[in-house]
Amino acid sequence: MNSSAPGLLSTVNITKMARSAPISRNVGRLSRSQVAAKRGLFKGKKTAKVSPKAEVATTVEKQIGGKANGEKRVIPTQKASKFYPTEDVRVPKVSRKQAGKTKLRASITPGTVLILLAGRFAGRRVVFLKQLDSGLLLVTGPFKLNGVPLRRVSQAYVIATSTKVEIADVKVPETVNDAYFVKSKAAKATKEGEFFGEGAEKKTFPEEKKSEQKAVDAPVLAAVKKVDNLSKYLKASWGLSKGDRFHELKF
Amino acid sequence: MPGVSTQPSIQKQEVVAMSQQPSTFKRFVEVGRVVLVNDGPSAGKLAVIVEIIDHNRALIEGPATSVPRQAFPYRHLILTPYTLAKLPRAAGSGAVKKAFEKSGVSEKWEASAWAKKLAARQVRKNSTDFDRFQVMVAKKQRRDVVRKAHFKERKASA
């Protein structure tokens, strides 16, 4: 048994389970939400500063007297425990499973016209560009046609049509990745300030995103123009009407 | 049976008269009748009645249309106006194929409004979202032309 195990367990008890003393191993007395309520993080952000961890040397070199003792010796800073625990405490196995990248439906390939089924742009027909690292689909309206910007969607909320736009030569810039879609958090205005209309700075859409949108859309638009009615098709939104039997429709 | 024997001549006359009336039916279940298979893996294909098994089923085959020889219930067959004249009972595959090709039934079938309607239905069923959209656009354009012509005509006649 590893001698560090009992020490590790005790730290867990102190830091994590103080409010929820374990009933049995790995089972706390309180539920996750009860613990959250007790910790009271909702009351406000914790202001305590996290001090940078200083690296602690695990060994120290010491001068040793006596000629036959080699003068110097490397000694661990923390003494190893003298005792072994009487009972073996099992440490849970660390799971090394990792979620793989989402597998796309075979019908979704770059250039496929998709019909969005959920969200703000539900019913819009958009062009699929590529799959992002997160597994989500990167789509664009193009913006000029139907107002749908570069956007991430899950393939579960999409109908793949058999219509394809020829975009083999379209290169999506590296900057358009998952990080591109993360919203920047603006400083929250205080209530008083809000009342007096302070800090009500109007959010402007960043210029570089505008230009990126244009750069991506330009070749897509050119490809769309080559096919009759295709731009009209992308402009129009999709919906079910009377007499449409969804299970018999082909897309 | 005295009641029946008193007027035998009248009854006979009626029977003769009925048999002489032209039948209202034009398509019969008969050997050589070309049928449209309406069910199963060969649905939508033409076949020929080769032999009548009983009042529920017939032996059909379409060697030229790749319908294998099989017993088939009448309720899943539709009689067409075409027949292969003088096809003998229980003719073999080769003979049926020869007779079918000689009769030119498949050309007649393809030219018929019935077959065209079935084909159009198939096309509509297999149309994609984009196809349906284009049909919608074309219909709008047609409506517009008709509407304009109509009002022009009305104005001229008024």
DSSP class of residue A219? H
User: H/E element holding B131?
Assistant: helix B129-157
- Residues 6 or more apart whose Cβ sits within 8 Å of residue A73: A61, A62, A64
Residue of A233, A248, A250 with shortest CB distance to B133: A233
Matching residue, tokens 């103080």: A18
- Beta strand segments in A71-201, E: 72-76, 112-116, 125-131, 137-140, 151-153, 158-164
Q: Determine, yes or no, domain membership for B99.
A: yes
CATH number at residue B67: 2.30.30.30
Half-sphere exposure of B148 (CA within 13 A, CB side): 6
Give a yes or no: residue B126 inside a domain.
Answer: no
Query: What is the distance between the alpha carbons of residues B69 and B67, in angstroms, rounded to a whole number?
Result: 7
**Does the residue B123 lie in any domain?**
no
The highest-level CATH class for domain A108-184+228-239 is mainly beta
Q: Is the pLDDT of residue A129 over 70?
A: yes
Judge whether residue A166 has pLDDT over 80: yes
What is residue A192's predicted lDDT score, i.e. its pLDDT?
61
Enclosing domain of residue B61: 10-104
Residues of A in contact with B128 (CB under 8 A): 161-163, 250-251
How many distinct structural domains can be found in chain B?
1
Torsion (CA) A231, A234, A235, A238 in degrees, nearest 10: 150
B21-27 contacts, C-beta under 8 A, 24 or more apart = B26/B81, B27/B79, B27/B80, B27/B81
pLDDT at B44 over 90: yes
Global pTM reads 0.66
ipTM of the complex: 0.72
Mean pLDDT value across residues A21-29: 85
pLDDT at A146: 94
Q: What is the pLDDT of residues A80-112, one digit of tens each?
A: 888 888 888 888 888 888 888 889 999 999 999
3-state secondary structure of A3: coil
- Closest CB to A250 among B128, B134, B137: B128
**B133 and A CB contact within 8 Å:** yes
| Residue, of A10 and A244, whose pLDDT is higher | A244
What is the H or E stretch that residue A62 is in?
strand A59-63
